Structure 1
Amino acid sequence: MKKLICVLICAAFILCVSIPVYAETDNSKTVETSAVAFVLYCPQNGSIILSKNENEHKKPASTTKLLTSLITLEQAARGNSTVTFTDKMTAEGSSMYLEYGDTVKLSDLAAGMMMCSGNDAANAAAIAISGSYEKFSGVMNSRAQSIGMKSSHFVTPSGLDDDNHYTTAHDMALLMAEVLRNKQLAELISQKSATVDFIKPEKHMTYTNHNRLLSMYSYCIGGKTGYTDAAGRCLVTASRRDNLTLICVTLDDKNDWKDHTALYEYGFSKLGCYMDNEFTAEIPVAGGEDDFVTVSADSSCELVVNKGVESKIKRMVKLDSFLFAPVMQGEAVGEIEYSLNGKTLKKARLKAQNGAEIKSGKKGLLEKIKELFFNG
């Protein structure tokens, strides 16, 4: 017998379709900056809040190391090998002071890149992973394409200038969003310092994070600095306030600390985030080998809306009080709808997390109902 469903779910319904409600935040003159190019981006819904020349090719300097460190930690997660520093890995500029013969874990090179912007750490990671800078460049560009960075091309793992090494403010915002999805890297860039345990020689080195915004702006959760004469000052950061995450990228900006703070304050004054934790419920099953099935949404709900309307969002759960066996694992059995002033913002399917087979022996509808209400 087919299960009785209180509310029919449209077969064409798409899981977790959001219709975001934005403030009018597309005027780049709202916040004056010194940046040649910048973007204020919300990774929770993929929207650009403010921008200027966000698709213009620019040199990223050491903010490149966000990509190099991401690749490094992804490789380390598959096998955190040891790396011995050689003369092929030497680099000019900022350093974590690796010397010939020094041996560290691959993952520790990311700490050297993210804290003190070690060019030597970036080179060491590139050689350790790919065997040459040219091959690692291919890895960088492939990973960038997978993120959606369509207007970027990377040549050097450290970000030292090259005519064919470029990106855009928008692409760097996409990269930072990917960085935040990597728990290990997100944790690393949130720290004001990190200690590396050298394997050879046996010693412990503590490095201080160059990202001063971690101390200057209380909502900052991480980022990466960069500078060369050709690129100017570059800064990629992320901040979180009241469940809303924003990413700011400034390229060639003489007042980047001040500009990031101003842009974040603007964004947080205009937008808010409605959060609903992952919905889970135990639903009785009539006529099943199992008495209950667990029903849940695939994920928690995040809705970016105009500031101040978060409390006005309504949640409606459309789910029967009981289900008839059989219930298949993964079967859609209901939905959650989020709305504001009568307008649907998001819908999410509720799925059975476990199945329930029909109990042995055929039973009629009345027996199933009696079993539901009188057994136990």
Structure 2
Amino acid sequence: MKSKWLYLLVCCSLLGMLLAPGTYEKAEAAPPGISTNAVGASLVDVASGRVLYSVKGDTPMRIASLTKIMTAIIAIEEGNLDDMVTVSRNAAGKEGSSIYLKLGEKMRLHDMLYGLMLRSGNDAATAIAEHIGGSVDGFVYLMNEKAKMLGMDHSHFTNPSGLDEGEGHRSSPNDMAKLTAYALKNSVFQEIVSTKLKKVPNPNEAWDYSWLNKNKMLSLFEGADGVKTGYTKLAKRCLVSSATRGGQQLVVVTLNDGDDWADHGRLLQYGFTYFPLKTVVKKGDPIEGTNFVAGNTFMYPLAEGETEKLTFRTTLTDPLSTNYRLAERGTVQFSLGGKPIQSIPLYEKGSPLLEKPSQSSFSFQPSQPYKEKWYTQYGFAIRALIEHLFSISGSPWAD
């Protein structure tokens, strides 16, 4: 019996020596793991484009009506929102989700975009494509050119609606997140996708069109402000959502996810909780090691402990260059864990290019290592060890 107690005492003493308060310092706390029901998923910070979470992020998959994000942003950028779009026979007869446009009907492009994004009208997608591209094929060409411009290397579009037509229409979770982050920086796009209910004049009836947004995230998650639902029999449930809190906007993409509403809420909360947007440097802040100041404010989503991994490198501008004549005195390149993440210009203090420069100074001084209470971090481990000891030596409480 004494040997059992002695064995237990020695093990607990050793554990106590290893984990005694004040002996353990945690330099960083990595965000906990998280999973979804999606086949493919991506969580991205809009301002920086940083991918915060990804599963099969670069795998091309069917995206259903998420395609209409590309259709909308091209129409906004390339078209005149006040143009009247005429509905062709091809558009009026398009299968799938519809806003029930009639052959020959005319509708303002801006209004039709609401039908496209709120109700996922395939008839609207076709009418818009024919109006902007001259034909569906012409518009598809624009879609793929836009994808190349944005660096969507795992995407190929064959139609403006997302219907399962052919085998080549694909995109990846990371590509769709990249596209959405780009589109959300357009105020017209942002206004459309954040609208819960839109009424539009209806030339065919005595009442207006009334379109309720299919995106339930606008009501389910505080701060939600977009973006698009999607479904086909082959693609299954697809969803892109966005939300803004504290000046930070995040985008979530899930492809083939049977529980997407819940998963999006969890992923958005995960991003806001563990990757808050932090100010790395403010416009006008002096840059250590130079006589110059930052030309722009730089903010970046950083997990706990990542600040210590930030580094920067300055490069001075050639005095004979055009940039120097335009007041740029150099650049500062920021890196995280050795990977470049942002470059901003350097100006002389008092330069007219600086508007209301802040007075705070900038330097990357590591903060004190985070001290975590040993019993918080290891409480369950200690309990498990004790239970294991009891299981092999018998319970001392019963003897």
1:177 is matched with 181
Per the TM alignment, residue 76 of structure 1 is displaced from its structure 2 partner at its CA by 2.6
Write the distance in 2 (CA, Å) between the matches of 1:172 and 1:337.
27
Write the distance in 1 (CA, Å) between the matches of 2:228 and 2:254.
11
Write the distance in 1 (CA, Å) between the matches of 2:133 and 2:344.
44
The structure whose residues are more often helix, as a share, is: 2
Aligned residue among 91, 95, 99 for 2:98:
95
Write the distance in 1 (CA, Å) between the matches of 2:77 and 2:155.
20
1:222 is matched with 226
Q: Rate the CA distance shift 1:178–1:277 in 2: closer, same or farther, 3 A.
A: same
1:74 is aligned to 2:77? yes
Instruction: Please tell me whether the aligned partners of residues 68 and 160 of structure 2 are also in contact (alpha carbons under 8 angstroms).
Output: yes
Write the distance in 1 (CA, Å) between the matches of 2:54 and 2:105.
43
Give the partner amino acid of 2:275. L
Aligned pair count?
298
Per the TM alignment, residue 305 of structure 1 is displaced from its structure 2 partner at its CA by 2.1
Instruction: Please tell me whether the aligned partners of residues 284 and 296 of structure 2 are also in contact (alpha carbons under 8 angstroms).
Output: no
Runs of 5+ consecutive residues of structure 1 not aligned to the other structure: 1-21, 282-294, 314-327, 355-376
Give the partner amino acid of 1:301. F
1:41 is aligned to 2:44? yes
1:271 is aligned to 2:275? yes
Per the TM alignment, residue 329 of structure 1 is displaced from its structure 2 partner at its CA by 7.6
Deviations 1:263-298 (A, max 9, x none): 1122222111135997479xxxxxxxxxxxxx9965
Written as runs of structure 1 = structure 2, the 5 A alignment for 1:180-199 is: 180-198=184-202
Per the TM alignment, residue 347 of structure 1 is displaced from its structure 2 partner at its CA by 5.8
Write the distance in 1 (CA, Å) between the matches of 2:66 and 2:121.
12
Deviations 1:319-355 (A, max 9, x none): xxxxxxxxx9831479999999xxxx9865236347x
Instruction: Please tell me whether the aligned partners of residues 103 and 198 of structure 1 are also in contact (alpha carbons under 8 angstroms).
Output: no
User: Root-mean-square deviation (CA), in Å?
Assistant: 3.4
Instruction: Please tell me whether the aligned partners of residues 117 and 192 of structure 2 are also in contact (alpha carbons under 8 angstroms).
Output: yes
Per the TM alignment, residue 110 of structure 1 is displaced from its structure 2 partner at its CA by 1.2
Write the distance in 2 (CA, Å) between the matches of 1:346 and 1:241.
25
Q: Rate the CA distance shift 1:335–1:31 in 2: closer, same or farther, 3 A.
A: closer
Aligned residue among 197, 209, 212 for 1:205:
209
Written as runs of structure 1 = structure 2, the 5 A alignment for 1:24-173 is: 24-25=30-31, 30-77=33-80, 80-89=82-91, 90-162=93-165, 163-173=167-177
Written as runs of structure 1 = structure 2, the 5 A alignment for 1:226-265 is: 226-265=230-269
Instruction: Please tell me whether the aligned partners of residues 272 and 307 of structure 1 are also in contact (alpha carbons under 8 angstroms).
Output: no
% identical aligned pairs: 33
1:330 is matched with 326
Mean Cα deviation higher: 263-272 or 207-216: 263-272
Instruction: Please tell me whether the aligned partners of residues 94 and 117 of structure 1 are also in contact (alpha carbons under 8 angstroms).
Output: yes
Give the partner amino acid of 1:44. A
Per the TM alignment, residue 309 of structure 1 is displaced from its structure 2 partner at its CA by 9.2
2:9 is matched with none
Q: Secondary structure at the match of 1:306?
A: coil
Instruction: Please tell me whether the aligned partners of residues 278 and 296 of structure 1 are also in contact (alpha carbons under 8 angstroms).
Output: no
Q: Rate the CA distance shift 1:259–1:82 in 2: closer, same or farther, 3 A.
A: same
Write the distance in 2 (CA, Å) between the matches of 1:339 and 1:153.
32
Write the distance in 1 (CA, Å) between the matches of 2:326 and 2:283.
15
Write the distance in 2 (CA, Å) between the matches of 1:143 and 1:43.
18
Per the TM alignment, residue 43 of structure 1 is displaced from its structure 2 partner at its CA by 2.9
Runs of 5+ consecutive residues of structure 2 not aligned to the other structure: 1-27, 286-291, 311-323, 337-341, 354-399
Superposition TM-score, scaled by structure 2 size? 0.66
